[in-house]
C-alpha cells in the first residue's frame, strides 16, 4: 500500500498519478494533490516538504472552483477591508486547513511572489493571514482564489478573534511590567532586610525605599488594577470570588508600605506585593490561553454563508449586494455551486440541493417552484430564483445557532460548583486573616502587619487555582498531537467518567465515501472498471466518488443532473445512472436480488443492461477498535440515528453495539439523552452534522468529526481531526491520566495551604517567604501537569 507523498492518505487502487519532486517521481492520491505538488515543484517551492517535519496534513480541504468574484463588489469589499493609504487595503483572512508552519511558509512564499502584495503576516497559531495589497494591481478575489488553489479554504474574518488577540497582548504587557518591577524591587529589598549585615547607611536605605515605592506604584496601578476592579465587581454582586482576598492583600500591602516608608519604621512589603501580582498574572495568562482556543458559534456559522447575494432589480437584471442588506421579499438568484444566502421560496427554476449542513442527510434533494430552500444549503446543480421569506438574521440557520448558544450557556454546572467552593474557601481565608489581625492587635500590635500579610499571601489559593487549568492545558496539547482538538477543556476530565456512549450513524460510524459492495454482471465486458470510471468522471454527483481509477476519454459526454451520465467510448453508447432514468431511456431492467439499504447504479451499453453496482458506505476506520476498547471498559454503546430503523439495526448487529434506535429526529435524540441523564447516567455523544448540534450540546461530553459541517464543531467539546476514530482511545486514556494528575495537584496544594497557614498565623513567616512558598508550590503544580505532555 502506498501513501500519497503530498497528503499522506492511502493511494486508492488503480490510481497511477505521480509528481516529480526533486527529480524523483512521487506517488499522488488524487488530481488535487498532484496539481498542488506540481505547482510547488514548478515554482521552486518543493522545500515545503523538507520544512514540514513529517507533519502530514491531518485533513484535506477540498479545492473547489469557488467563484470569489463577489468579493470585488464595492460594498462587500468595503466591509471586509480597511484602507491603509492610497489604493492599499488591509484584509484579515482566516485560513481553514493551515496546521503547521510549513503551511504558513507555503502561503507566504506564494502570495509574496504575486505583484501587488505589499505586506503579509501569517499567524499559524490563530490561522490568520493579514495582507496589505494594492487594489489596482491585484484584486481581493484573486488573493482568495490563489489561497484556494493551494488547497486551503480562505474565510472572511470576523471581529471576535481580533478582540481575543488584543486581550492577550494586554495581559502580556501587564506581565512584562509586573515581572520587571518584581525583579528590580527584589534586588533593592535584599539590603533592606538586613541593613546591619550589609552596612547600609540610613540615607541610602531611604533612597532604596523611595525607588521601590515608585516602581511598586507603577506595578500596582498598571498591573494590579484588574484584581481590584474584579473584587469590587464581585462584592457588588454579593459574591466572594478568588479576587477578593487577592485585592485585599495587595491593596493592604501597598498602602501600609507607603505609610511605613514615610514613617521610616518597620518592614515594607513592596517586594511581596509585586511578586504576588506577577505570579497571579502568570497563572491567569495560562488559563486564558486555553479558553481562547475554543470556537465561537456565530463566527463559524457566518463563515458558511456567502457575504453577498445576487438581487434581481428588474426582470433579467441583477446586482450584487452584501448579505446584511437582504430583507424579506427580495428576489435572489442562486447559481450552481453556490451556497444559498437566505431562506426563501423558489419562484423559478429547479435545482438539486445539498442540505447536509442542516439535516445531516447527504443525499441530494430535488427542489423546484414553491419549495423552500434554507440558508447554508448548497446548490449542487441547476439555477433558481428565490423570494426570501425572512430577513437575513432570522434564517433557520441563525435559529439553530441561537438554540446552540442557549444549550452551551447552560452547560458548565461543574464550573459553578468550583466557583461555590472557591467562595467558601475565600470566606475562610478572610476569617482566618481577621482572627490573626484581632489576636495580634490585642497582644502584639507591632507584628500585626507581617502576620496578616503572610496569612493573606500564604493562604492564597494560587496553586489550587492552577491545579486544574494547567493539567487541562497540557492534556489539550497532548490530545492535539494525537489528532483530537479540544474545544471545551472541561470535557477532558468528564470523558473518563462517562457510562454511556452514543453514536450517530451517518458520517460518524460510517465513512462518507461510497464503495462498491456488490457488482451484478449481466453480460461479459472487457475492461469494465475503466468504462465505469471514465463515465463517472463526467459526473460531479457524490456517487461518482465510488468509481475512481484509471479512465479514458469519453466522447460526447453528457451529465444529466440527478439522473445519470451518458457518453460514447470506443464507438459504443453507454448510459449509467438510476433505474428510473434508464427505464425512461428504454432500457429493459431485469429483476435483481438487491439489498434495499444500498444505493444502486445501473450501467447499459447500446440500450442493453450490462451491470448493476450496489454501493454502500464502509465502517469508518478505527470504529471497531474503539468499540472493542470501550467494551473492555464496561461502557454502554448505543446508536441513535435519523436513518431507517432497519438500517440502524443491521449496523448495530455488525458492530456488536448494546442497543440501537432509528427514525429519530433531533428532538427525539435530545429527549433520549435527557432521560438517561435524569437517571444519573453520564452520556457522550459522537456525532456529525448541524442537526446533531443541539444533541451534542445536551450530552455531557460531545465529540464530532472534522470533515462534517463547520457548525457542529463549535457545539462539540472534542473534535477528531483525522478520518479515523482511533484517537478517541487515546483521548479516553489521556482523560484518565489527567484526572489522576488533577487529584495529585489538588491534594498537594491543599496540604501546602493547610500546613503553611498556622505557621503564618504564628507570625513565623515573613511575607516574602510566603510569596516564595506560594510560587514554589505553584511551580510544582505546573511541573506535575507537564508530565501529561510525555
Q: How far is the CB of 186 from other proteins (least distance, A)?
A: 12
202 lies in the site for other proteins, by CB under 8 A? no
Nearer to other proteins, 124 or 600 (CB): 124
Question: What is the rounded distance in angstroms from the CA atom of residue 684 to the CA atom of residue 501?
Answer: 5
Alpha-carbon gap, residue 230 to 236, rounded angstroms: 10
Q: Is residue 277 at the binding interface for other proteins, with CB under 8 A as the rule?
A: no
- Comparing CA positions, the residue from 242, 231, 226, 235 lying closest to residue 421 is 242
382 with 365: CB under 8 angstroms?
Answer: no
Stretch of 44-52, 70-78, 392-400, 754-762 contacting other proteins, by CB under 8 A: 44-52
d(C-alpha 515, C-alpha 744), whole Å: 49
Which of 145, 149, 204, 600 forms a contact with other proteins (CB under 8 A)?
A: 204
Q: How far is the CB of 96 from other proteins (least distance, A)?
A: 17
Binding window for other proteins (CB under 8 A); candidates: 204-212, 334-342, 361-369, 780-788: 204-212
Q: Which is nearer to other proteins, 149 or 681 (CB)?
A: 149
204 vs 252 by CB, closer to other proteins: 204
Shortest approach of other proteins to residue 42 CB, angstroms? 6
- Judge residue 10's burial from the number of C-beta atoms within 10 Å of its C-beta, 0-12 exposed, 13-18 middle, 19 or more buried: exposed
Nearest residue to 778 (alpha-carbon basis) of 489, 460, 493: 460
Of 43 and 653, nearer to other proteins (C-beta) is 43
Say if residues 556 and 540 touch (Cβ distance below 8 Å).
Answer: no
Residue 194 touching other proteins (CB under 8 A): no
DSSP sequence for 120-166: EEEETTTTEEEEEEETTTS-HHHHHHHHHHTT-EEEE--SHHHHHHH
State which residue, 121 or 497, has the beta carbon closest to other proteins: 121
What track of x and - describes contact with other proteins for positions 322 through 341 (by CB under 8 A)? --------------------
Out of 2, 10, 43, 633, name the contact with other proteins by CB under 8 A: 43
Q: What residues numbered 79-138 form the site for other proteins, per CB under 8 A? A: 100-102, 104-105, 108-109, 112-115, 121-126
Helices (H), 527-659: 528-538, 579-584, 623-632, 645-655
The smaller minimum CB distance to other proteins, of residues 152 and 184, is found at: 184
> Please, what is the minimum distance in Å from the beta carbon of residue 168 to other proteins?
8
- Spatial distance between the Cα atoms of 189 and 248, rounded to a whole number of angstroms: 22
Point out which span in 42-50, 280-288, 647-655, 756-764 binds other proteins (CB under 8 A): 42-50
Query: Least distance in Å: CB of 3 to other proteins?
Result: 24
Q: In the bound complex, what is the minimum distance in angstroms from residue 56's beta carbon to other proteins?
A: 17
The reply on whether position 208 binds other proteins by CB under 8 A is yes
Return the number of the residue (30 or 98) whose C-beta is nearest other proteins: 98
Q: Does 789 bind other proteins (CB under 8 A)?
A: no
- Of residues 113 and 229, the one with the C-beta less far from other proteins: 113
The neighbour count for residue 432, using CB atoms within 10 Å, is 18
Cβ at position 486, least distance to other proteins in Å: 19
Q: Rounded to whole angstroms, how far apart are CA atoms 368 and 29?
A: 38
Using CA atoms, how far apart are residues 738 and 730, in angstroms rounded to an integer? 12
Least Å distance, CB 271 to other proteins, is 15
Measured from the CB atom, the residue of 23 and 443 that comes closer to other proteins is 23
For the chain, the first-to-last Cα distance in angstroms comes to: 31
Q: Give the CA distances from residue 26 to residues 10, 41, 152, 347, 564, in Å, rounded to whole numbers and listed in that order.
A: 13, 11, 22, 51, 35
Which residue's CB is nearer to other proteins, number 207 or number 221? Answer: 207
The rounded distance, in Å, linking the Cα atoms of 662 and 445 is: 75
Question: What minimum distance in Å lies between the beta carbon of 110 and other proteins?
Answer: 9
184 is a site residue for other proteins (CB under 8 A): yes
Q: Smaller CB distance to other proteins: residue 134 or 405? A: 134
Distance CA 378, CA 309 (A): 14
HSE, CB side, 13 Å, CA atoms: give it for residue 742: 21
**Nearest CA among 637, 432, 433, 605 for reference residue 528:** 605
Q: Is 396 in the site for other proteins (CB under 8 A)?
A: no
Cβ proximity to other proteins: between 114 and 411 the closer is: 114
Q: Does 62 bind other proteins (CB under 8 A)?
A: no
Count of positions (residues) in the chain: 790
Residue (165 or 578) nearer to other proteins, CB: 165
Residues whose CB falls within 8 Å of the CB of residue 205, separated by 6 or more in sequence, listed in order: 191, 192, 195
Q: Of the candidates 18, 90, 141, 165, which one interacts with other proteins according to CB under 8 A?
A: 165
Please state the closest distance from residue 106 (CB atom) to other proteins, in A: 10
Count residues binding other proteins (CB under 8 A): 39
Per rule CB under 8 A, is residue 176 in the interface with other proteins? Answer: yes
The yes or no reply on residue 201 touching other proteins (CB under 8 A) is yes
Pick the closer one to other proteins by CB: 68 or 285.
285
Distances (CA, A) of 562 to 75, 353, 357, 365: 36, 10, 19, 9
47 binds other proteins (CB under 8 A): yes
Q: Which three cell numbers stand for residue 303?
A: 463563515
Q: Which three cell numbers stand for residue 192?
A: 533592606
Q: Does 225 bind other proteins (CB under 8 A)?
A: no
Q: Give me the least distance between CB of 716 and other proteins, in Å please.
A: 26
> According to the binding rule CB under 8 A, does residue 211 interact with other proteins?
yes
- Measured on CA atoms in the order 758, 763, 767, 770, is the torsion positive or negative? negative
* Residue in 11, 147, 155, 177 binding other proteins, rule: CB under 8 A: 177
User: Which residue, 42 or 136, is less far from other proteins as judged by CB?
Assistant: 42
Residue 20 contacts other proteins per CB under 8 A = no
Short-list 330, 342, 349, CA closest to 373: 342
Least distance (Å) from other proteins to the CB of residue 184? 5
Q: How far is C-alpha 70 from the geometric centre of its chain's CA atoms?
A: 27
Q: Output 183 or 751, the one with its CB closest to other proteins.
A: 183
Angle at 426 between CA 423 and CA 429, to 5 degrees: 155
188 belongs to the binding site for other proteins (CB under 8 A):
yes
**Contact flag: residue 207 with other proteins (CB under 8 A):** yes
Cβ neighbourhood burial of 316 (10 Å; 0-12, 13-18, 19+): exposed
Nearest to 426 by CA among 218, 168, 185, 245: 245
In order, the DSSP letters of 162-226 are: HHHHHHHHHHHHHHHHHHHHHHHHHHHHHHHH-HHHHT--HHHHHHHHHHHHHHHHHHHHHTSHH
Residue among 204 and 517 whose Cβ is closer to other proteins: 204
Query: Strand pairing partners for 17?
Result: 28
**Tell me, what DSSP letter sits at residue 3?**
B
Listed ranges 175-183, 363-371, 398-406, 761-769: which one lies at the site for other proteins (CB under 8 A): 175-183
Q: Report the interface residues with other proteins, using CB under 8 A.
A: 42-44, 47, 51, 100-102, 104-105, 108-109, 112-115, 121-126, 165, 169, 172-173, 176-177, 180, 183-184, 187-188, 201, 204, 207-208, 211, 215
Amino acid at each position: 500500500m502506498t501513501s500519497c507523498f503530498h497528503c499522506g492518505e492511502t493511494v486508492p487502487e488503480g490510481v497511477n498519478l505521480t509528481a516529480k519532486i526533486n527529480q524523483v517521481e512521487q506517488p499522488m492520491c488524487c488530481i488535487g494533490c498532484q496539481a498542488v505538488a506540481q505547482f510547488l515543484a514548478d515554482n521552486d517551492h518543493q522545500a515545503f516538504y523538507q520544512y514540514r517535519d513529517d507533519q502530514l496534513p491531518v485533513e484535506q480541504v477540498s479545492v473547489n472552483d469557488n467563484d470569489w468574484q463577489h468579493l470585488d463588489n464595492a460594498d462587500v469589499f468595503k466591509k471586509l477591508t480597511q484602507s491603509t493609504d492610497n489604493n492599499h487595503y488591509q484584509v484579515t483572512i482566516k485560513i481553514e486547513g493551515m496546521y503547521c508552519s510549513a503551511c504558513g511558509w507555503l502561503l507566504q512564499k506564494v502570495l509574496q511572489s504575486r505583484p501587488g502584495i505589499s505586506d503579509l503576516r501569517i499567524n499559524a497559531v490563530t490561522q490568520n493571514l493579514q495582507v496589505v495589497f494594492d487594489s489596482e494591481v491585484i484584486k481581493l478575489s484573486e488573493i482568495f482564489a490563489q489561497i484556494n488553489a493551494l488547497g486551503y479554504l480562505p474565510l472572511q474574518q470576523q471581529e471576535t478573534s481580533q478582540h481575543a488577540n488584543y486581550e492577550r497582548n494586554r495581559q502580556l504587557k501587564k506581565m512584562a511590567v509586573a515581572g520587571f518591577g518584581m525583579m528590580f524591587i527584589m534586588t533593592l529589598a535584599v539590603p533592606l532586610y538586613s541593613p546591619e549585615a550589609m552596612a547600609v547607611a540610613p540615607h541610602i536605605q531611604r533612597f532604596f525605599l523611595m525607588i521601590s515605592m515608585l516602581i511598586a506604584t507603577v506595578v500596582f496601578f498598571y498591573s494590579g488594577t484588574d484584581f481590584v476592579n474584579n473584587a469590587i465587581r464581585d462584592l457588588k454582586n454579593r459574591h466572594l470570588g478568588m479576587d477578593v482576598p487577592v485585592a485585599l492583600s495587595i491593596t493592604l500591602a501597598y498602602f501600609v508600605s507607603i505609610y511605613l516608608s514615610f514613617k521610616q519604621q518597620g518592614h515594607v512589603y513592596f517586594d511581596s506585593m509585586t511578586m504576588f501580582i506577577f505570579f497571579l498574572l502568570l497563572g491567569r495568562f495560562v488559563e486564558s490561553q486555553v479558553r481562547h482556543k475554543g470556537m465561537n458559534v456565530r463566527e463559524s456559522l457566518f463563515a458558511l454563508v456567502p457575504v453577498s447575494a445576487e438581487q434581481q432589480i428588474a426582470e433579467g437584471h441583477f446586482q450584487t449586494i452584501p448579505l446584511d442588506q437582504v430583507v424579506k421579499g427580495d428576489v435572489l438568484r442562486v447559481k450552481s455551486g453556490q451556497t444559498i444566502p437566505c431562506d426563501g421560496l423558489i419562484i423559478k427554476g429547479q435545482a438539486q440541493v445539498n442540505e447536509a449542513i442542516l439535516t445531516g442527510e447527504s443525499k441530494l434533494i430535488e427542489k423546484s417552484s414553491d419549495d423552500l430552500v434554507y440558508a447554508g444549503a448548497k446548490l449542487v446543480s441547476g439555477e433558481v430564483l428565490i423570494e426570501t421569506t425572512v430577513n437575513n438574521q432570522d434564517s433557520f440557520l441563525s435559529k439553530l445557532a441561537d438554540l446552540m448558544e442557549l444549550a452551551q450557556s447552560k452547560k458548565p454546572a461543574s464550573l459553578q460548583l468550583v466557583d461555590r467552593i472557591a467562595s467558601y474557601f475565600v470566606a475562610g481565608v478572610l476569617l482566618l486573616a481577621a482572627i490573626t489581625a484581632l489576636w495580634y492587635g490585642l497582644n502584639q500590635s507591632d507584628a500585626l502587619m507581617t502576620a496578616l500579610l503572610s496569612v493573606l499571601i500564604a493562604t492564597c489559593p494560587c496553586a489550587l487555582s492552577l491545579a486544574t487549568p494547567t493539567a487541562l492545558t497540557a492534556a489539550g496539547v497532548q490530545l492535539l498531537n494525537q489528532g483530537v482538538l479540544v474545544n471545551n477543556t472541561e470535557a477532558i476530565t468528564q470523558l473518563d467518567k462517562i457510562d454511556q456512549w452514543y453514536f450517530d450513524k451517518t458520517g460518524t460510524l460510517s465513512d462518507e465515501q461510497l464503495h462498491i459492495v456488490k457488482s451484478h454482471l449481466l453480460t461479459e465486458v472487457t475492461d469494465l472498471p475503466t468504462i465505469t470510471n471514465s463515465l463517472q468522471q463526467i459526473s460531479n454527483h457524490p456517487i461518482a466518488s465510488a468509481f475512481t481509477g484509471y479512465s479514458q476519454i469519453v466522447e460526447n459526454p453528457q451529465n444529466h443532473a440527478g439522473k445519470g451520465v451518458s457518453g460514447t467510448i470506443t464507438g459504443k453508447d453507454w448510459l449509467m445512472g438510476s433505474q428510473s432514468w434508464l427505464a425512461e431511456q428504454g432500457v429493459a431492467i431485469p429483476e435483481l436480488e438487491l439489498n434495499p439499504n444500498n444505493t444502486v447504479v445501473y450501467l447499459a451499453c447500446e440500450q442493453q443492461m450490462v451491470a448493476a453496482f450496489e454501493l454502500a458506505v464502509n465502517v469508518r476506520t478505527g470504529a471497531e477498535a474503539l468499540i472493542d476498547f470501550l467494551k473492555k471498559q464496561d461502557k454502554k454503546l448505543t446508536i441513535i440515528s435519523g436513518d431507517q430503523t432497519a438500517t440502524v439495526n443491521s449496523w448495530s448487529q455488525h458492530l456488536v453495539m448494546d442497543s440501537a434506535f432509528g427514525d429519530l429526529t433531533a428532538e427525539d435524540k435530545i429527549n433520549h439523552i435527557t432521560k438517561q441523564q435524569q437517571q444519573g447516567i453520564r452520556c457522550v455523544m459522537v456525532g456529525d452534522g448541524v442537526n446533531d448540534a443541539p444533541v451534542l450540546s445536551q450530552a455531557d461530553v460531545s465529540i464530532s468529526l472534522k470533515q462534517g459541517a463547520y457548525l457542529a464543531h463549535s457545539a462539540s467539546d472534542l473534535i477528531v481531526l483525522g478520518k479515523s476514530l482511533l484517537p478517541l482511545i487515546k483521548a479516553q486514556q489521556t482523560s484518565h491520566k489527567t484526572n489522576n494528575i488533577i487529584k495529585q495537584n489538588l491534594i498537594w496544594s491543599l496540604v501546602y495551604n493547610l500546613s503553611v497557614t498556622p505557621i503564618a498565623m504564628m507570625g513565623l513567616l515573613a511575607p516574602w517567604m510566603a510569596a516564595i512558598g506560594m510560587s514554589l508550590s505553584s511551580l510544582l503544580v505546573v511541573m506535575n501537569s507537564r508530565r501529561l505532555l510525555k
